[in-house]
Amino acid sequence: MANETARNIGPVIVLGPPGAGKGTQAKRIVDRYGIPQISTGDLLRDNVGRGTKLGLEAKAIMARGELVPDELIYGIVSSRLREADCQRGFVLDGFPRTAAQARWLDATLEKEIFDKSQSDKSEKCPPIVIQLLVDYNQLLLRLTGRRSCPTCGRLYNIHFQPPLVDELCDVDGSKLLTRSDDREDVISERLAAYESQTKPVADYYRAQRRLVVVNADRTMDEIAAQIFGVIDRHGQDAGGGAAKLESAS
């Protein structure tokens, strides 16, 4: 485990529809490997909360469940990737969401991040791309049931992981929040956006033999164990070579 928090992991990209558990699995990866999670949804919500210019531009778009324009997203992602804590690697959650974003990310990693941070390019780890596959009805339950504590950040699901007292946090008793875009009418828009725009991202990485498909209709622990196996094998295989296509059952 000590080794896991010292070695280079490189970029880890977690793909999957809203509600697939990207955020939860990204946090597991963060805890095990000691690399930061970069969630474009969280970065945007932070900007909305602070009322920044970007937040004001993104707020209405996010409330409709549509994708925020690329030029806004690229700015926040590239400045976050340049921060010192990203040097050993990072987990991207919610990005890239379109094939254009995937191409932009490849170009950015190649030209800007790696060239500046590592003189010996043969030591860089190629991105690991993990796609979480989930049944559609499971997704609806996960999204409509999702709640979070505004005080301690703990996540719940009223269907699968309910709090002890209805709608109150077990830890501090705060009233739990539902994200505004987890309303049923917005959810169908978000899933439609995923279908039309994000599937090409998986196709893009599959064509490059970089996609690892993980069945996410299982417990969070089982999914995490499988993802750790993929990352650990990738570390052993990397050594400057190309990533291999794997399909996890």
Residues lying near ligand AMP in the complex (CB under 6 A) = 18, 40-41, 44, 61-62, 65-68, 73, 94-95, 97, 101, 181, 190
- Closer residue to ligand AMP in complex, CB, 90/95: 95
**Minimum Å distance from CB 221 to ligand AMP?**
23
- Closer residue to ligand AMP in complex, CB, 28/190: 190
**Minimum Å distance from CB 26 to ligand AMP?**
10
- Closer residue to ligand AMP in complex, CB, 38/128: 38
| Residues with catalytic roles | 22, 97, 146, 179, 190
**Minimum Å distance from CB 66 to ligand AMP?**
6
Pick the closest to residue 14 from 4, 2, 28, 34 (CA basis): 28
- Closer residue to ligand AMP in complex, CB, 113/238: 113
**Minimum Å distance from CB 200 to ligand AMP?**
13
